[in-house]
Amino acid sequence: MGIALSNGELPKTGIKDSGERREFKTGAVRDRGVGKGMPNLVPSWVIWLISRVYEDGSYKYAARNWEKGMPLSNYIDSIERHLAKHKAGMRDEPHMSQLVWNGIGYIFTAWLIRLGYRPTELNDMPNQLSTDPQDKAEPLSQYEYDSLSTFFDVKLDQISAGNCVK
Protein backbone atom coordinates (compact mmCIF):
# COMPACT_ATOMS: atom_id res chain seq x y z
CA MET A 1 0.00 0.00 0.00
CA GLY A 2 1.24 3.50 -0.79
CA ILE A 3 1.98 6.29 1.67
CA ALA A 4 -1.28 7.54 3.19
CA LEU A 5 -2.23 11.05 4.26
CA SER A 6 -2.83 11.80 7.94
CA ASN A 7 -6.53 11.01 7.43
CA GLY A 8 -5.58 7.52 6.17
CA GLU A 9 -6.50 8.17 2.53
CA LEU A 10 -4.07 7.85 -0.33
CA PRO A 11 -3.24 11.15 -2.05
CA LYS A 12 -4.62 11.70 -5.54
CA THR A 13 -1.91 11.40 -8.17
CA GLY A 14 -1.67 11.70 -11.94
CA ILE A 15 -0.92 7.97 -12.14
CA LYS A 16 -3.68 5.84 -13.63
CA ASP A 17 -4.67 2.86 -11.53
CA SER A 18 -6.61 -0.24 -12.54
CA GLY A 19 -7.08 -1.19 -8.90
CA GLU A 20 -5.46 -4.57 -9.56
CA ARG A 21 -1.98 -5.44 -8.32
CA ARG A 22 0.77 -7.89 -9.14
CA GLU A 23 3.46 -8.70 -6.66
CA PHE A 24 7.02 -9.72 -7.54
CA LYS A 25 9.25 -12.20 -5.70
CA THR A 26 11.11 -9.24 -4.22
CA GLY A 27 7.92 -7.93 -2.61
CA ALA A 28 7.63 -4.98 -4.99
CA VAL A 29 4.09 -4.26 -6.18
CA ARG A 30 2.89 -2.74 -9.46
CA ASP A 31 -0.40 -2.12 -11.21
CA ARG A 32 -1.52 -5.07 -13.35
CA GLY A 33 -0.34 -4.93 -16.93
CA VAL A 34 -3.37 -6.65 -18.50
CA GLY A 35 -4.56 -4.93 -21.68
CA LYS A 36 -1.66 -2.48 -21.75
CA GLY A 37 0.32 -4.34 -24.39
CA MET A 38 3.79 -5.82 -23.98
CA PRO A 39 6.16 -3.75 -26.12
CA ASN A 40 9.08 -5.50 -24.43
CA LEU A 41 8.17 -8.63 -26.43
CA VAL A 42 8.54 -6.88 -29.81
CA PRO A 43 12.06 -7.52 -31.13
CA SER A 44 13.81 -4.15 -31.30
CA TRP A 45 15.81 -5.22 -34.34
CA VAL A 46 12.56 -5.82 -36.26
CA ILE A 47 11.38 -2.31 -35.34
CA TRP A 48 14.75 -1.00 -36.53
CA LEU A 49 14.34 -2.87 -39.82
CA ILE A 50 10.89 -1.33 -40.40
CA SER A 51 12.30 2.09 -39.48
CA ARG A 52 14.61 1.74 -42.47
CA VAL A 53 11.51 1.76 -44.72
CA TYR A 54 10.47 5.04 -43.04
CA GLU A 55 13.96 6.39 -43.63
CA ASP A 56 14.01 5.36 -47.30
CA GLY A 57 10.56 6.87 -47.81
CA SER A 58 11.69 10.14 -46.24
CA TYR A 59 14.39 10.44 -48.90
CA LYS A 60 12.02 9.60 -51.74
CA TYR A 61 8.90 11.57 -50.68
CA ALA A 62 9.32 13.50 -47.39
CA ALA A 63 9.64 12.39 -43.78
CA ARG A 64 5.96 12.59 -42.89
CA ASN A 65 4.37 12.50 -46.32
CA TRP A 66 2.42 9.31 -45.56
CA GLU A 67 0.79 10.90 -42.49
CA LYS A 68 -1.16 13.28 -44.74
CA GLY A 69 -3.42 10.37 -45.62
CA MET A 70 -3.88 7.94 -48.47
CA PRO A 71 -6.85 5.76 -49.38
CA LEU A 72 -6.78 2.53 -47.41
CA SER A 73 -6.86 0.55 -50.65
CA ASN A 74 -3.39 1.91 -51.51
CA TYR A 75 -2.00 0.23 -48.41
CA ILE A 76 -3.83 -3.03 -49.16
CA ASP A 77 -2.63 -3.00 -52.79
CA SER A 78 0.95 -2.53 -51.67
CA ILE A 79 0.66 -5.22 -48.98
CA GLU A 80 -0.67 -7.69 -51.57
CA ARG A 81 2.05 -6.83 -54.12
CA HIS A 82 4.88 -7.15 -51.62
CA LEU A 83 3.49 -10.42 -50.28
CA ALA A 84 3.13 -11.85 -53.81
CA LYS A 85 6.68 -10.85 -54.73
CA HIS A 86 8.11 -12.29 -51.52
CA LYS A 87 6.17 -15.54 -52.02
CA ALA A 88 7.48 -15.71 -55.60
CA GLY A 89 11.04 -15.64 -54.23
CA MET A 90 11.87 -12.08 -55.24
CA ARG A 91 14.38 -10.41 -52.96
CA ASP A 92 15.03 -7.28 -55.04
CA GLU A 93 13.45 -5.10 -52.31
CA PRO A 94 12.76 -5.56 -48.60
CA HIS A 95 9.27 -6.85 -49.41
CA MET A 96 8.38 -8.10 -45.92
CA SER A 97 9.53 -4.86 -44.28
CA GLN A 98 7.50 -2.86 -46.79
CA LEU A 99 4.49 -5.11 -46.18
CA VAL A 100 4.69 -4.38 -42.43
CA TRP A 101 5.19 -0.65 -43.09
CA ASN A 102 2.02 -0.61 -45.19
CA GLY A 103 0.12 -2.45 -42.45
CA ILE A 104 1.21 0.21 -39.96
CA GLY A 105 0.13 2.96 -42.36
CA TYR A 106 -3.25 1.27 -42.80
CA ILE A 107 -3.89 1.02 -39.04
CA PHE A 108 -2.66 4.60 -38.47
CA THR A 109 -4.92 5.99 -41.20
CA ALA A 110 -7.93 3.87 -40.21
CA TRP A 111 -7.69 5.07 -36.61
CA LEU A 112 -7.37 8.71 -37.62
CA ILE A 113 -10.40 8.32 -39.90
CA ARG A 114 -12.36 6.95 -36.91
CA LEU A 115 -11.23 9.88 -34.76
CA GLY A 116 -12.25 12.36 -37.44
CA TYR A 117 -8.68 13.51 -38.10
CA ARG A 118 -8.68 12.20 -41.68
CA PRO A 119 -11.53 12.34 -44.22
CA THR A 120 -13.90 9.36 -44.32
CA GLU A 121 -13.31 9.20 -48.09
CA LEU A 122 -9.93 7.62 -47.34
CA ASN A 123 -11.84 4.49 -46.32
CA ASP A 124 -12.46 3.18 -49.81
CA MET A 125 -12.57 -0.48 -48.79
CA PRO A 126 -15.78 -2.12 -50.00
CA ASN A 127 -17.90 -4.22 -47.71
CA GLN A 128 -18.07 -7.31 -49.90
CA LEU A 129 -20.65 -8.89 -47.59
CA SER A 130 -23.18 -6.10 -48.18
CA THR A 131 -25.95 -6.11 -50.76
CA ASP A 132 -25.15 -2.44 -51.42
CA PRO A 133 -21.97 -2.16 -53.53
CA GLN A 134 -21.44 1.37 -52.16
CA ASP A 135 -21.13 0.18 -48.53
CA LYS A 136 -17.69 0.52 -47.01
CA ALA A 137 -16.16 -2.05 -44.70
CA GLU A 138 -15.20 -1.06 -41.18
CA PRO A 139 -11.40 -0.66 -41.52
CA LEU A 140 -10.45 -2.25 -38.18
CA SER A 141 -11.90 -4.91 -35.91
CA GLN A 142 -13.68 -4.06 -32.68
CA TYR A 143 -10.69 -5.54 -30.82
CA GLU A 144 -8.37 -3.06 -32.56
CA TYR A 145 -10.68 -0.11 -31.86
CA ASP A 146 -11.04 -1.18 -28.21
CA SER A 147 -7.26 -1.56 -27.84
CA LEU A 148 -6.57 1.85 -29.38
CA SER A 149 -9.30 3.38 -27.23
CA THR A 150 -7.58 1.94 -24.17
CA PHE A 151 -4.20 3.28 -25.30
CA PHE A 152 -5.59 6.79 -25.88
CA ASP A 153 -7.92 6.56 -22.87
CA VAL A 154 -11.02 7.43 -24.89
CA LYS A 155 -14.39 5.75 -25.28
CA LEU A 156 -15.49 5.19 -28.87
CA ASP A 157 -19.03 6.34 -28.15
CA GLN A 158 -17.63 9.64 -26.84
CA ILE A 159 -15.46 10.32 -29.87
CA SER A 160 -16.54 13.29 -31.91
CA ALA A 161 -14.67 14.39 -35.00
CA GLY A 162 -11.37 15.96 -34.05
CA ASN A 163 -12.15 16.05 -30.32
CA CYS A 164 -11.08 12.87 -28.60
CA VAL A 165 -7.52 12.90 -27.33
CA LYS A 166 -7.21 14.17 -23.77
Compute CA distances 71 → 74, 90, 142, 149, whole Å. Answer: 6, 27, 21, 22
Q: pLDDT for 6-46, tens place per residue? A: 777 766 766 777 788 888 999 998 887 777 888 899 999 99
The amino acid at 152: F
**Is 102 within 8 Å of 79 (Cβ atoms)?**
yes
How many Cβ atoms sit within 10 Å of the Cβ of residue 43? 8
pLDDT digits (tens, 9 = 90+) for 75-103: 999 999 999 999 999 999 999 999 999 99
Q: How far is CA 5 from the centre of its chain?
A: 39
* pLDDT level of residue 162 (50, 70, 90 thresholds): very low
Burial class from Cβ neighbours inside 10 Å (0-12, 13-18, 19+) for residue 72 reads: buried
How far, in Å, CA of 26 to CA of 119, rounded?
51
**What does the alpha-carbon distance between residue 145 and residue 115 come to, in Å, rounded to a whole number?**
10
Confidence (pLDDT) at 166: 45
Mean pLDDT of the chain: 89
Does the pTM exceed 0.85? no
